Structure formats: C-alpha cells, structure tokens
Homo-oligomer: A and B are copies of this chain.
Amino acid sequence: MRAYLIPVFLLLSFHSFAQEFRPLNPENTLLLKTSEGDVVIELAPQFAPKHAAQIKSLVRKGAYNGKSFYRVIDGFVAQGGLGDDDTIKPPTLKMEAEFSTEELNYSLVQENDLFAPYTAFSDGFAMAMDQEKKTAWLAHCPGTVALARGNDPDSGSADFYISIGQAPRYLDRIMTIFGRVVWGMDVVQRIKRAKPEEGGMIKAVKDRTVINEALILSYVDTSPFKKLQIEKTSGKAFADKLQARRSRSHPFFFKKPPPVLDVCQVPLAVKQ
C-alpha cells in the first residue's frame, strides 16, 4: 500500500479512545432476512411505544414475510411492508413523533443545529430538541426506520421506510420514527431502486428486493446477531468521542473544520 493511504485510513479509527458498549436487547430487535442479505433493526419502544408494539405484533404474525420494498429512491428512502396486500388490516396508529425532555437522558451534540435548537443522542437514537418548549423528537438520519403514512398524520399502520441518503430532516416531527438499522446498512444500500422513469415505485414484484422473513431476534434460536454490542451514547467515553470529532487534532486536518457536529454524521460503533 502507498504510504499516503494510511493517514486517510486513520481518520476513521474510532479506537483511539475508549468506547463503551451495551448489549442489544433481542426482544426489542427485528431481523429482516431480505433477498440482499440480513438487516438488524433496533426498535424504539421508549420513544414510540405503540408503534414498536404494533410492528412487533405484525412481525410475530408473519405479516411481512414474502413482502417487498416497493418504493425505493436512491438518496432518499427504501419503503416496504404490506403494500397492496389488504388481507391484513392492522389498525392505524396515532403519531408518536414528539415527547417531553423531562426525565430524558441524553448527550448533547450541537446547539443551533440547522433544523433545531439542539441535537443530542439518547439510547443510541439521534434526536432534536427544543429545550424551551421541553420537547424532543427523533431525527431522520441514514438508517432511520419510520412509519409511512398518507396526508392524515394518523393514517399509517404497517408500511415503513428506511432513510438511505442524506438525512431528510424536513420529515422530523411529522413522521413517527420507531427504529434504526444497527447492522446491515450495506445490505439496505443494495435494496433495488426504482428505475428513474418509474418515479419511485417499482411496478414489477420481480424487480423488487424481497423480505423473505421478518423475525423478532429473541424468537430466533441461534443467531450471531444476538451477541451484537452497540456503542453507548451516554457516559464519558461517548462525550470524549463527540469532542474529538468536534475538534480534530489529527495532523491530516491542516486546517481545522468548524467546531460543530451534524448529529447524523456521528457513526456509532457496533461489534459482534
């Protein structure tokens, strides 16, 4: 390897400081076995309890098995779910997009974010906050999983999208985020896109990426994903990591970037 590749590589080393991990809770984790590979999604019952419960109930019933990602736009979203199957009629869900900052534990990321007064992480989820109004909401980042809906805010029930491009933060607060991809984002990025002339919807089922099986991880007998360790977004180690990204000390940065952080550009480590 050329010598000059090494410093570039170092930029990404998150191991220059201590990291703290927590185990993934398998009861709170979905495993999507898709035709492109496996995707692991951590649910957010602490922020969207009714959404997490309904999705889990649908997964237990096998509602997503054999379904597909039918609306996939590169740089935006991969949307899948029941699609035009109306044999299953799950109840619609009331929005659970906002919650109170009281009794909320979080690590502050940025004041005066472009889209919100504050951004933070809480339990691994990127979040935005208006502390004056004591309100917080999960932020749309790459890997965010949220409920699809119609114009009526409370019209979604089962179909969902995964953000696959630059964070569509303009959807914050008006969509209910109920999970995030913690493993297999490379698989999500291989989900087949609609052709440009299709305007986002993939007409032919044969052209779509299929969800062969959706499972709750605790129901799977053996899976390497049960041992996933997720970086903690609280505590000193994480605060130090945020600070190191805000103020780069590596000589590669011959000019210092602005001392700010985009909450969606803080990769969280996961290990097996």
Contact B262 A169 (CB under 8 A): yes
Which residue of chain B has the shortest Cβ distance to A85 in the bound complex?
A: B2
Quick check: is A99 within 8 A (CB to CB) of the other chain?
no
Contact A271 B196 (CB under 8 A): yes
Cβ < 8 Å to B, chain A residues 1-28: 1-9, 12-13
Residues of chain B within 8 A of A271, CB atoms compared: 196
Q: How far is the CA of A174 from the CA of B250 in the complex (A)?
A: 13
Nearest Cβ distance between residue A64 and chain B, in whole angstroms?
15
Residues of chain B within 8 A of A110, CB atoms compared: 114
Quick check: is A179 within 8 A (CB to CB) of the other chain?
no
Contact B265 A8 (CB under 8 A): no
Partner of A114, one of B83, B142, B190, B260: B260
Cβ < 8 Å to B, chain A residues 31-54: none
Residues of chain B within 8 A of A171, CB atoms compared: 257
Which residue of chain B has the shortest Cβ distance to A245 in the bound complex?
A: B170
Residues of chain B within 8 A of A169, CB atoms compared: 257, 262, 265
Binds B, one of A146-154, A211-219, A235-243: A146-154
Quick check: is A91 within 8 A (CB to CB) of the other chain?
no
Partner of A142, one of B75, B86, B148, B153: B75
Closest 3 CB pairs of A and B: A4-B150, A170-B257, A189-B189
- Beyond A4-B152, A170-B245, 6 additional pairs, beta carbon < 8 A: A1-B83, A5-B201, A142-B165, A142-B166, A164-B189, A174-B254
A residues with a Cβ closer than 8 A to B are: 1-9, 12-13, 71, 73-76, 79, 82-84, 86, 110, 112-116, 141-143, 148-153, 155-156, 159, 164-174, 185-186, 189-190, 193, 196, 199-201, 245, 248, 250-255, 257-258, 260, 262, 264-265, 267, 270-272
